[in-house]
Structure 1
Amino acid sequence: MTLGTSTTNNPEPLGTYLEKMRAELIKKRGIKVDELPTKEELDRQTNIKAQKWLAKQKQDFYSSQSLWPADVPVSFKFSDWNPNLQKNASTARDAGKQAYVLSKRLANNQKFNVAFVGAPGVGKTSLALAILDELKSQKSGTMFVSTAELAGLYQQKREYADIQKRLSKIEESMKKVDVLLLDDLGTEGFSAFNDYGVRTDMQSLMYRISNARFDFKNNRVRNVTLTTTNNTQEQLKKMYDPKIISRLVPREPEFRVVFNGFKDVRGV
């Protein structure tokens, strides 16, 4: 079979035939050739789509490794923050503003850790989740870890063989994820006559996590860690090796959102 003209002694070249088909299709559909994307533009669009796909895959993976209280995922946005729930609305508004400003700095590729410190139920986790939400919208991989749930897995690992495999995946994710939220750091400890402590395996885990998330060569944060805690810095250092706390929980006031004088609004 010969493409193009039916004259067998003078077959039409395939390239010419395809060019005619292209011209006819363009004319039939009213396509404006000058507006068609170039190869470079098509390559650029393909690259953008690939990057978005990879970012989504990364986000989904780290989210799947999160440890939520009672295994129930929760979310919070800055628009959900209601300062009027507190007696001193102005102070609550300032806390929300501080967290929001920090989220914008982090979204602008600055690297630092943030601590949310105060009594239970005052909104620490809510504002930490709002930062997590803000950074996830910027394509960062994010992960939520309840330290109480993590300690619970360590207590069960001898009884259930599959838990050790899960803990290994969680640890690798905690080391590498762009933004890690450690919720209620300190509740996994115990106290007796003001003598605080955390089980040895949790100590070892958090030591490895803190090392992996810190850039020792440049003496700065490698990956962002957000921490919520009911404990003071000194109490945390009694529970954990001080090196761990210094690498994960900042002391600088600009990186600490403090909820002094706030009331418990959980369930309100």
Structure 2
Amino acid sequence: MEMFGFDDYMRKIARKHGIDLNKANIQDAIDHRDERQEQESIKFTKENNKVKRKRMFDSSVVSDPIILSKTFDDFNITDKIQKSEFDKARSIADRILNGEKGNFTFSGTPGAGKTLSAVSILNKIQHSDSSLTCYFASVSMLAQMNKDSIQYPEIKTDFINAERCIKQCDILVLDDLGSETSFQKNIKEASDYQQAMLFRLADYRAENKNKVNIVTTNNTSKELKRIYNGKIYDRLIASNFDNVIKFTSKDCRMF
């Protein structure tokens, strides 16, 4: 009599999967199958999330895509000040990976490593086992896209996609906040339009307490408060001293 009613063909299939029907309990076989299917499902989900995370990150609004490949290995540290800034940035990356949320602000002179630090944080998270999604947006490019989207349908589509990513991503870098005003002839008019966009995005992320915002800027706090409405400032700029890095070192970039 065939054990469990299995014929030779089914026994062959069972042996292929490492199951000896002459010894196995049918429930053990079922449990083994279910466990294997669950592991395969988890693996598929992780791979699928990895692809989605990469797709979002690669769609970032940036003038030079090569910037998105930069990591902490690209720092050229030559003094104690740079080392201190570098260590703080790496610490922030670890804090975010450990679940910390909120606003972080990197301010200081041009070329001191603010953008490099922010991108390095994103890449450390991207290359980890975390499921956190990352997105980088140049504020000046975003503002220009927002303005051009009124006239050009194809740019409007790009801007809508960028806005969706900004709202959905777990960790957002807004790069060079404040610089977009210097590119406008009529600063007040452009500023009003830009502020409406920034407030909409900042307000959405502020309502979702599980978000991380990293802002880089060449401006001081006083200057940012003059450029933007206080509601934008409060929603994007870090109020916790431990979440602020003031870059005062010389250029530490290798690109």
**TM-score of the pair, normalised by structure 1:** 0.79
> Residues 197, 30 of structure 1: CA spacing in aligned structure 2 closer, same or farther, 3 A cutoff?
closer
The code of the aligned residue for 1:105 comes to R
**1:53, CA displacement in angstroms?**
3.2
Quote the residue 1:204 is aligned against.
196
**Percent of residue pairs identical:** 26
Aligned-CA RMSD value: 3.0
What is the rounded CA distance, in whole Å, between the counterparts of 1:30 and 1:62 in structure 2?
38
Q: Which runs of 4+ in 1 moved over 3 A?
A: 22-27, 29-37, 70-73, 195-198, 265-268
What is the rounded CA distance, in whole Å, between the counterparts of 1:76 and 1:191 in structure 2?
26
**TM-score of the pair, normalised by structure 2:** 0.82
Deviates more, 1:132-141 or 1:157-166: 157-166
* Residue-pair matches, total: 244
> Residues 143, 16 of structure 1: CA spacing in aligned structure 2 closer, same or farther, 3 A cutoff?
same
Indicate yes or no: 2:171 matched with 1:179: yes
Quote the residue 2:230 is aligned against.
242
Quote the residue 2:86 is aligned against.
96
**1:166, CA displacement in angstroms?**
1.8
What is the rounded CA distance, in whole Å, between the counterparts of 2:63 and 2:235 in structure 1?
25
Quote the residue 1:215 is aligned against.
207
Structure 1 residue runs without a partner (length 5+): 1-11
Partner of 2:92: helix, strand, or coil?
helix
**Does structure 2 conserve the Cα–Cα contact (< 8 Å) formed by 1:112 and 1:224?**
yes
What is the rounded CA distance, in whole Å, between the counterparts of 2:213 and 2:139 in structure 1?
13
Q: Which has the higher contact order (CA 8 A, sep 6+)?
A: 2
**1:131, CA displacement in angstroms?**
0.8
Quote the residue 1:264 is aligned against.
251
**Does structure 2 conserve the Cα–Cα contact (< 8 Å) formed by 1:198 and 1:240?**
no
**Does structure 1 conserve the Cα–Cα contact (< 8 Å) formed by 2:213 and 2:236?**
yes
Alignment of 1:92-241 (within 5 A): 92-136=82-126, 137=128, 138-190=130-182, 198-215=190-207, 221-241=209-229
Deviates more, 1:105-114 or 1:32-41: 32-41
**Does structure 1 conserve the Cα–Cα contact (< 8 Å) formed by 2:76 and 2:254?**
no
**1:118, CA displacement in angstroms?**
0.9
**Does structure 1 conserve the Cα–Cα contact (< 8 Å) formed by 2:174 and 2:215?**
yes
**Does structure 1 conserve the Cα–Cα contact (< 8 Å) formed by 2:77 and 2:83?**
yes
After superposition, give the CA deviation of every residue in 1:90-133 in whole Å (9 maximum; x if it has no partner). Answer: 12111111111111111011112211111111111111111111
**Does structure 2 conserve the Cα–Cα contact (< 8 Å) formed by 1:176 and 1:212?**
no
**1:196, CA displacement in angstroms?**
7.6
What is the rounded CA distance, in whole Å, between the counterparts of 2:11 and 2:169 in structure 1?
51
**Does structure 1 conserve the Cα–Cα contact (< 8 Å) formed by 2:56 and 2:135?**
yes
**1:17, CA displacement in angstroms?**
4.5
Indicate yes or no: 2:44 matched with 1:56: no
**1:241, CA displacement in angstroms?**
1.0
